[in-house]
A = this chain, B = another copy of it.
Amino acid sequence: MDIGIVGLGLIGGCLGLDFKALGHRVYGVARRSETCTQALSRQMVDTASSDFAALRPCEVVFICTPIATLVPVVADLAQVLAPGTIVTDVGSVKAAVVDKATRHWPQFVGGHPMSGKSEAGLEAAEPGIFRDRPYVITPLPQTDPTAIKTVEQLAQQLGSQLYRCSPAAHDRAVAWISHLPVMVSASLISAALQEPDPAVLTLAQQLASSGFRDTSRVGGGNPELGLMMAQYNRDAVLRSLRQYQQAIATTLTQIEAQDWPALSQQLQAAHQARPHFVPD
């Protein structure tokens, strides 16, 4: 199959490596010519260009640019692609993208391969990162079933676990498991920094260990990613964050009132529920 990839960063580079290994012909597009040269020399793409028109032969185009540029890229692609070309994206929020993109290009299918690495950029790309990882497809009711099927088949070729749901359901689910944890975790660090006694703050910094390390990890990560989650998944993040605020208020009230049976029950429920999210 002739497959286009717009944006040759980590995900675009990884898709190129895997699709080429699967025998597809890969057309890369990147803004910077050095990126094109690098992608060609690392054999991530068969052709590379800074011009969207180079994607005209493609049957499917994956957009792997930052979320803010997804819809504008679809609008630009709509000027040059052959009718019937399937366009999909890899963005981590869907409601803000899928409706608008579909208006520009009816053969658009929202997608979210939930793979990644802590490093960004083409240099970090490697084969096989989608294997055994979720790949969520988020069609609209009017999305062409053949287009959905084509994207799902490609995701299956990557070895991913396929899920299909509405953009809203996707965004609410990832708010719980990905975006809310960032806010929860960053707020832990922010709160600790408010410690009024400098000696206690220093001691806390000296004594911090695995518990603080794990709980603060995603909140202390890339600030631009956290901001992007809040901006583009605002409604779902607010919805989760309000529920979380309730949970914190409940815990505070239980400890204030010394209602140990209630706190115990709460902690028991959390202990029992966690393996349903992340089996050990």
Chain A interface residues (CB < 8 Å from chain B):
114, 134, 136, 163, 165, 169-170, 172-174, 176-178, 180-195, 197, 199-200, 203-209, 211-224, 226-227, 230-231, 234, 237-238, 240-252, 254-256, 258, 260, 263-264, 266-271, 273-278
Contact = CB atoms under 8 A, between A and B. Distances in A.
Nearest to A184: B188
Contact of A241 (B215, B231, B251): B251
A278 B208 contact: yes
Contacts of A242: 252
A213 B214 CA distance: 9
A244 B188 contact: yes
B270 A189 contact: yes
Interface of A is mostly: helix
Given A204-B173, A248-B248, A181 B212 contact: yes
A264 B189 CA distance: 14
Contacts of A230: 254-255, 260, 263
A152 B252 CA distance: 36
Given A189-B277, A247-B190, A266-B186, A215 B218 contact: yes
Contacts of A216: 181, 270, 274, 277-278
Contact of A221 (B209, B247, B271): B271
Task: Enumerate the 10 nearest inter-chain pairs by beta-carbon distance, A residue then B residue, closest first.
Answer: A220-B274, A223-B267, A187-B247, A181-B215, A208-B277, A189-B270, A173-B203, A191-B244, A186-B270, A177-B208
A19 B78 CA distance: 75
A222 B180 contact: no
30 contacts: A114-B209, A163-B203, A163-B206, A163-B207, A176-B192, A177-B208, A177-B209, A177-B212, A180-B192, A181-B216, A185-B215, A187-B248, A189-B270, A189-B277, A190-B270, A191-B244, A192-B240, A193-B273, A194-B246, A209-B278, A211-B218, A212-B278, A214-B214, A214-B217, A216-B278, A219-B274, A226-B267, A227-B263, A227-B264, A242-B252
